[in-house]
Amino acid sequence: MTMKKAQKLEIKDLSVTFESEIIKNISLKVEDREIISIIGPSGCGKSTLFNVVSGIIKQNKGLIKINGLEEKKRQGKFGYMFQEPLLFPWLKVLENVMLGFEIKGIEKKQAKIEAVYLLKKFDLFEYANLYPNSLSGGMKQKAALLRTIAFNSDILLLDEPFGLLDAITRSNLHLYLLDIWKKLGLTIIFTTHDIREAIFLSDRVYVLSKKPATVIDCIKINLSRPRKISDQTSKKFVELEKKIISLL
C-alpha cells in the first residue's frame, strides 16, 4: 500500500481578527521542495498570514501543520525574510550570516565554517569582510537571504524580499534564488505584488481577495524548469499572467 505523503506545510481554515477580520478561513498546502507564491491586493493580509504561520501572532481559529503534525509553537520553525534586508550594519557580511547559525545554537567556530561554506557556494565570499553599508541593494538582499537560510534551511517565508529593487536587479535575484532553491532543496513560500515575479518563480500561485483575505484560486504554473528570463515572453507565460490579472 502506498503511504500518503505528508504536506510540508498545511494551513486549514485559518482566521485572524483584530479590530476587524483580516484573514477569513484560508486553507493552503505546500509540498516538500515547492515554491508557492501568495499574491493579492495591497493590505489584504499577506504579511499577517506570514506572522501567524511563523508564530509571531496567534490565529483566532484554524490549524497549521508542519510535516503533517500540528504545530502551535512555531517560533524558529521557519526562515523569515522581509522586504528590508535588516542586516546588522556593525557586523560584516560573514558575521551577519554566522548569526543565523548562532541563533539556532551552533557554536561560533562551527558557525563560521558553515557561513564561509555558504558564502563560497553562492558566490558571496568576496564580500565576506565588507560591512552592509558598502553593498548594493541586490548584494544586501543576497546576504540577507543566506542569513535566513543559515537560520533555517528547510522552509523559508519570503515576504516581498525583492520589492524595493529595480527590475534588472530583481531579475538577477530571481535566478539567484532559484539556484539556491535547486541546490539546497528548499521549500519556499513567497509573497509579492508582482504577478510576473510570482509566475516566474513558482510551482503554484495562491490568489487572495481583498481584506478579509480568502483564497480566490490556486493557479498551477505549468512552465518547465529550469526557468529562463526569456520564458516571460512565451505565450504560456502571458496566458497565466492574464488569468491572474482577471482574478484580482
CA distance 181 to 173: 12
> Which residue carries 551577519 as its cell?
96
pTM comes to 0.90
Confidence of residue 5 (pLDDT cuts 50, 70, 90): low
pLDDT at 200 over 90: yes
Please determine, for residue 3, whether its predicted confidence score (pLDDT) is greater than 70. Answer: no
| Res 129: pLDDT | 96
DSSP 213: B
Q: How many C-alpha atoms does 201 have within 13 Å on its Cβ side?
A: 35
pLDDT at 76: 77
Residues 168, 180, 132, CA angle at the centre, nearest 5°? 60
Of the candidates 159, 9, 155, the one whose C-alpha atom is nearest the C-alpha of residue 71 is 9
In angstroms, how far is the first alpha carbon of the chain from the final one?
42
**120 or 211, which is more confident?**
120
**For 47-82, how does the pLDDT look when each residue is reduced to its tens digit (9 = 90+)?**
888 888 888 888 888 888 888 888 778 877 788 888
Domain 9-78+153-247: which topology? Rossmann fold (3.40.50)
Mean pLDDT confidence for 202-219: 93
Kindly indicate the confidence band of residue 1, based on its pLDDT and cuts at 50, 70 and 90.
Answer: very low
pLDDT at position 6 is: 61
Q: Kindly report the CA angle at 56 between 103 and 145, in degrees rounded to 5? A: 50
The proportion of the chain whose per-residue pLDDT surpasses 90, expressed as a percent, equals 59
Q: Where are the domains of the chain?
A: 9-78+153-247, 88-151
Q: Is residue 11 within 8 Å of 27, Cβ to Cβ?
A: yes
DSSP character string of 189-207 = EEEES-HHHHHHH-SEEEE
Per-residue confidence band for 248, with pLDDT thresholds at 50, 70 and 90: confident
What stretch of H or E contains 95?
Answer: helix 93-103
* Predicted pLDDT of residue 127: 95
Report the distance separating Cα 139 and Cα 127, nearest Å: 9
Contact 115, 97 (CB under 8 A): yes
- pLDDT confidence of residue 48: 87
Instruction: Please give the average per-residue pLDDT across 114-123, as a whole number.
Output: 94
Nearest residue to 213 via CA among 49, 7, 92, 6? 49
- CA–CA dist 114, 54 (Å, integer): 24
pLDDT of residue 192: 92
Taking only the tens place, the pLDDT of each residue in 131-172 is 999 999 899 999 999 999 998 778 899 999 888 889 999 999
Q: What is the pLDDT of residue 128?
A: 95
